Structure 1
């Protein structure tokens, strides 16, 4: 009887948690704090002509958009937000608050008589004359599954491409390139060898500046893998329906692109050998040099270990490597950068990690040899914002330059092509986001720190002098409501030498005499670093939901931490390379060492009760913490995890685990290692996750059941990738997560 009563009590605990005052208080915190800051500016966006820029900032109850005259610095309202909200509300059939418009960015269009923006990634336009809002019309490019497999069920955008003199046009008909007189006139010639299995892509057509040549890509299509999901509870319907998505996965055949060149006058085809770029992951856009005698494109070889820029002679089709990059581990595809100096094909500015740190190089594009290393040192070039070919000068951001400062803080610099006159343009122990004017003469600098709210300045791009201050963030109301910034903490990593950086968030009623379980908020994806460096909780680059969620969990009676371990980006190449074919690592040896160092300094930290939570790649890391480090981590909540990298999207996984698929994919798999589970686990998945195949979660469930492991599962019908982590009027996922941690770890003792 005693055992039966205990079981009933445990089963009743989740229901009791609905009325737990700690849970209710934490969930309510967002509404209490969310709109308390004032004049927190977000990064600026410039008009193409450079005459104006605009930005978003916090105001009472929400946000406002501000437009600035670049010459006078005069500020005005960017548009009538109330009228836009009314127009959007009519189109969306719901009430829209003008202080909380459903977009963060916009661009002026039609001579500033309309604005373009996106709602849930779909393009929209609102006119600023009669305030009519509607989804944007117009044919877009053919979708590509994660960039590497064209969706051939969607017609390509096949608009005629006019020659530079306007007399002729090129397009594709029946998979073949056709050249004819402009306006649908007489056909001059067409290729004859195109077919659905080896077609000419109309979206890649590029004329030479002199109109003598037409270049484009020919494509052998890859495997059209379709993920099918059951929509169990379609809104307004009774019966389930199916949803399909083009979703290439690791190892799948991808589109094979090859450049082909035609002489416009005769139709003579010039083939380009692919010997220098075999098995490409993807080829960049065809870019002609000014003289029309050659064109270039960048490439990445599948496997992410060889990349470069290929230059092609138009007369002969002969190709050479303008620059080549090789790596024993991986080349970070998203951080590749190449700039053709003067569009002449003689010199390139190239970003490389070949000396162990990301730096800029001046390349002789005729030979591919390095003429000069422009930047050097044990620091990292982050963003390249502007290159002035005439002045031979570059503007860029970097982190780790200043000894003693957080190495993730970004500062802005200029440097000459010869490496001289390296000038720091931003100051202070803060992180900076810059938006440069199209002419590169000025930039808007939004800077802050986790304990210093945003300030937005206009600076001179040559000297860094502040020309005007646009906004100063006001957080007095937030502080009065009880908000306190997180605590930075630095400790040595697994090697006993490398500094590992993180943040600590404590409950507002923290008592140093008590003992607190620790919960780690983890995201260890190798594509970036993730511990916020800007002001919390609603600053320009803070990750507001991330910060707020940590405080909400802390207020339950926990100490919450976030850490950037080895394997994440924005440090040295060696620091990053820890992730190569090693996603199971997730920086755990560094994270555990960091938390042990924190406990050594703070007796209130109870490492006998450590929990962890994360979504997507963070969900995978959460499960792996319980599989591979159960001696340390005792409970975890994994949202929308990519638990087996063979099941996830092709681009992210092949970038870090390589190609072809090998044993490294199995080493990180929560399915393969499910039998190792110890501790308490809650899995949360959205039925309609379009980012990570939800079958990845269900395969873990299957493996755990077969291994006879206990766990909890929450499947949300119609839920997308952010299910359980997004906020709503019910905050159901939050409540379940908070209840789980209270049951699994307890609070303060």
Structure 2
């Protein structure tokens, strides 16, 4: 029986009395101090580890490599001399921090430099890295830093040029130095070296069908060039009102070029020019009739042909188109067809010897992502290089002379987590497959420039990072470089998340996830469950490496889940079907079916864990996510409201017709059809069950914030109750600090406490 029901500060606590043979409901009421400790957990714990290393960066001469590692108070960048194994600071972190502080206009401290990895430039005298997705270059001799500016004309999601910005029309000099090509009055022109006179090469260019100087590509022998003539696509702009700008009282109106699904994209016509004959020819479009995107032209080293990549609108086909330099005739060097989609962002090709005779090509045609050797003249498969029920994740190096490939793959080792990355070497003919990373963990390998050595950095969620130097010839260990120490972190209360797997909807495929419990977890109590969801088809998302704190660009990972769990929940994260890095069939579940989000697998996973764990209360399940995870969160309450009771959806792309063209046409195809409506939170708003809290940044430049407001409008029309927080000035990350507790995080935590506890 229920003995008391106490309502304090909107948090209801129910005490069970009598002799019921049920686990007690966890009922300690989280206080404001608990919330504060929860939000600050990342900062409190992050600097307790030692010698957790990041992947290495090699000096151009291969004599040393560098990496970041955890030290007292933050992070240090260290360099190892390969010959002596002596260690020294990679650079003067204090001077670099001062230089960045000046350029960024905000304080940067030496032990908290705002990047995790860097690369050396060709001289070894400067490093490059990214801060908030922007490229930077800093010298490590005189410590001068500058943002790397891309001078090319911006393109909305890569397919519609921003014509309000001038193109980069610097003269493109021919390899022999005799000519400079550029565009004048929308037409291609030449200028002989040392002369001022202009020689027109085209006359058919116009404002609505112009030659793009950024696509000029010279043949190595300087006899031909290729350029694209462009018919502009539809310049859709998203308008956002900035209600409370920091530099003025009155609101601002911001505009962003933002193509959406179904919009007309730039139509690029390749044109081949014979410089000496002053002639040109439009390349026949028969092999690329309906392009979503063409890559820039690429000449073969013998100047006999030029090639470009073609992705068909709707993503059902990808090709390499080869063009004969003399005749302009085309043939498909490679053709990849798919009944569902070709995953464009994961395409890989390598032109052996840069001659067009043989091409290394990644394909999922046998149901798994593998490498093939293609005859570049006929497009036929000469042989399949890799084969098996596992996936090639990345190609590191192709050695044309030795006819060998170094690559990363996952799923090859029976009984191991199928997402763990390992590294291998194989011959072009598929023989001599050699494993380089035997440890049962997730690996990131960085090879020396001459491929004779490599640094293997590996870990698991329960194995602190280990970094080792190996010989590439036989993978023998030269030295252990770092071994992570988490003793202080463990003493502070950290426990690695639990790995749990259950069978998916087909009854045979393993679905993997992580379980994070409160620090004061009581196995005799009953805890509400919260799922952290991101189900975007473009990747897998459950962490496999150790570092639990996330990255500047990667969110909070496990520590964010731990902070929420400490408020009295069991928090989990799952990779269901429809995500990447497994079989083609596994990912194909998402095709024209984004509302699925792997929920049939996720719910089975929850039920399987509840069957094994009496503290796991699946009568009280919440869910949260951002971006595509926000869409999945809403869809949980729309399509599975009998299971998920509470959702916090942040910055969601709730209607894929409102979101960016690139991501959505990849998974829902073209033309826009009923599959877009089927996944729409607007069209399905009347199905809402449970408690929904939506959060959106007013200035979200990734997902049109109007998508959130259209769901709001539909929910109101359907007479559905919900909560909404609009963050003025907020971007896609929808977070602003409010005193010692991040406002958005606090509001999300309080919502779950109120609705689930």
Question: C-alpha displacement at 1:398, in angstroms?
Answer: 0.8
| 1:631-650 matches, cutoff 5 A | 631-650=642-661
1:537 aligned onto 2:544: no
Residue in 1 aligned with 2:174? 163
Q: Deviations over 1:39-72 (max 9, x none)?
A: 1111223345545433222221211222344555
Q: CA deviation at 1:645?
A: 0.2
Mapped to 1, the partners of 2:30 and 2:249 lie a distance apart of 30
Q: What is residue 493 of structure 1 aligned with on the other side?
A: 504
2:342 to 316, 331, 338: 331
Q: Find the residue that maps to 1:262 and give its secondary structure.
A: strand
Q: Per-residue deviation at 1:242? A: 1.1
Q: Greater CA deviation, 40-49 or 264-273? A: 40-49
What's 1:506 paired with? 517
Partner of 2:108: 96
Cα 1:727–1:143 change in 2 (3 A) is farther
Report the Cα distance in structure 1 between the residues aligned to 2:89 and 2:739, rounded to whole angstroms: 29
**Paired position in structure 2 for 1:3:** none
**SS in structure 2 at match of 1:361:** strand
User: Greater shift after overlay, 295-304 or 38-47?
Assistant: 38-47
Partner of 1:60: 72
Q: Is the contact between residue 626 and residue 650 of structure 2 (CA under 8 Å) also seen in structure 1? A: yes
Between 617-626 and 81-90, the greater mean CA deviation after superposition:
81-90
| Cα separation, partners in 2 of 1:422 and 1:134, compared to 1, 3 Å | closer
- 1:83-129 Cα offsets, whole Å, 9 max, x none, are 12122223334322111122334344584444443333334444444
**Match status 1:30 vs 2:42:** yes
- Superposition map of 1:257-296 within 5 A: 257-296=268-307
1:205-216 pair list within 5 angstroms = 205-216=216-227
| Pair 648,184 (structure 1): closer, same or farther in 2 beyond 3 Å | farther
* Cα distance in 2, alignment partners of residues 177 and 157 from structure 1: 14
Which segment is superposed worse, 57-66 or 300-309? Answer: 57-66
Match of 1:386 among 376, 387, 397: 397
Matched, 1:131 2:137: no
Per the TM alignment, residue 241 of structure 1 is displaced from its structure 2 partner at its CA by 0.7
**Post-superposition offset of 1:19:** 4.8
Alignment of 1:169-568 (within 5 A): 169-182=180-193, 185-538=196-549, 545-568=556-579
Q: 1:529 to 1:11 in 2, by over 3 A?
A: closer
Greater shift, 332-341 or 181-190, is seen at 181-190
Provide the C-alpha distance between the structure 2 equivalents of 1:483 and 1:681, rounded to a whole number of angstroms: 31
Distance 1:708 1:494, change over 3 A: same
2:611 aligned residue (596, 600, 609): 600
Distance 1:708 1:684 in 2: 19
The answer on whether the counterparts of 2:634 and 2:647 sit within 8 Å (CA) in structure 1 is yes
**2:727 alignment partner in structure 1:** 716
Contact 1:270 1:316 in 2 (8 A): no
Aligned to 1:680: 691
Q: Which shows bigger deviation, 288-297 or 321-330?
A: 288-297
Give how far 1:466 is off.
2.1
Deviation at 1:263, TM superposition (A): 0.9
Structure 1 residues 115 and 726: CA distance shift in structure 2, 3 A: farther
Structure 2 vs 1, CA of residues 479 and 593 (structure 1 numbering), >3 Å: closer, same or farther? same
Instruction: Verify the 8 A CA contact 1:41 1:539 in the aligned structure 2.
Output: no
Q: Aligned partners of 1:687, 1:678: CA distance in 2, in Å?
A: 26
Q: How far apart, CA to CA, are the structure 1 residues paired with 2:51 and 2:661?
A: 41
Secondary structure at 2:423 match in 1: strand
Distance 2:52 2:38 in 1: 24
Q: Output the CA distance in 2 between the equivalents of 1:570 and 1:725.
A: 34
Alpha-carbon distance between aligned partners in 2 of 1:520 and 1:312, rounded to the nearest angstrom: 51
**Local SS of the residue matching 2:47:** coil
| Alpha-carbon shift at residue 433 of structure 1 (Å) | 0.9
CA contact (8 A) 1:39 1:472 kept: yes
User: Contact 2:550/2:556 (CA < 8 Å) preserved in 1?
Assistant: no
- Residue 542 of structure 1 and its aligned partner are, at CA, apart by 12
| Partner residue in 2 for 1:84 | 96
Is the CA contact 2:504–2:510 (under 8 Å) kept in the aligned structure 1? yes
Q: Deviations over 1:216-237 (max 9, x none)?
A: 2221111111111011111131
- How big is the shift at 1:730? 3.5
From the superposition, tell whether residues 726 and 638 of structure 1 become closer, same or farther in structure 2 (CA, over 3 Å). Answer: farther
Distance 1:29 1:145 in 2: 38
Tell me if the contact between 2:159 and 2:265 (Cα under 8 Å) persists in the aligned partners.
yes
Report the Cα distance in structure 2 between the residues aligned to 1:640 and 1:299, rounded to whole angstroms.
32
SS at match of 1:33: helix
SS in 1 for 2:741: coil
- For 1:34, what is the secondary structure of its paired residue? helix
Distance (Å, rounded) in 1 between the aligned partners of 2:488 and 2:598: 37
Find the aligned partners of 2:737 and 2:370 in 1 and give their Cα distance: 38
Deviation of residue 266 (structure 1)?
A: 2.4
1:181 Cα deviation after fit? 1.4
Which secondary structure state, in structure 2, belongs to the residue aligned with residue 99 of structure 1? helix
Task: Work out the CA distance in 2 between the residues paired with 1:493 and 1:507.
Answer: 27
- Aligned equivalents of 1:478 and 1:442: distance in 2? 33
> TM (normalized to structure 1)?
0.95
Structure 1 pair 705–542 and aligned structure 2 pair: CA distance change class (3 A) = closer
TM-superposed deviation, 1:147: 0.7
Q: Which whole-Å deviations, capped at 9, do the CAs of 1:491-535 have from their partners, x for residues lacking one? A: 011121111111111001110100011100000000000001111
* Residues 142/72 of structure 1: CA separation in 2 closer, same or farther (3 Å cut): farther
**Of 626, 629, 639, which aligns to 1:628?**
639
Distance 1:307 1:253 in 2: 19
- Could you say what secondary structure the match of 1:515 adopts? strand
Look up the SS of the partner of 1:453 in the other structure: strand
Q: 1:9 to 1:188 in 2, by over 3 A?
A: closer
1:139 positional shift? 5.6
In the TM superposition, residue 196 of structure 1 has moved relative to its aligned partner by: 1.6
Structure 1 residue runs of 5 or longer lacking an equivalent are 1-5
| Number of matched pairs | 739
Change (3 A) 1:68 1:214: farther
Deviation, structure 1 residue 182: 2.4
Q: How far apart in 1 are the matches of 2:528 and 2:454? A: 45
Q: Is contact 2:518-2:567 (8 Å) kept?
A: yes
Q: Which residue of 2 aligns with 1:46?
A: 58
Change in Cα spacing, 1:118 to 1:413, as seen in structure 2 (3 Å) is: closer
**Larger deviation: 691-700 or 83-92?**
83-92
- 2: CA distance between counterparts of 1:139 and 1:401? 40
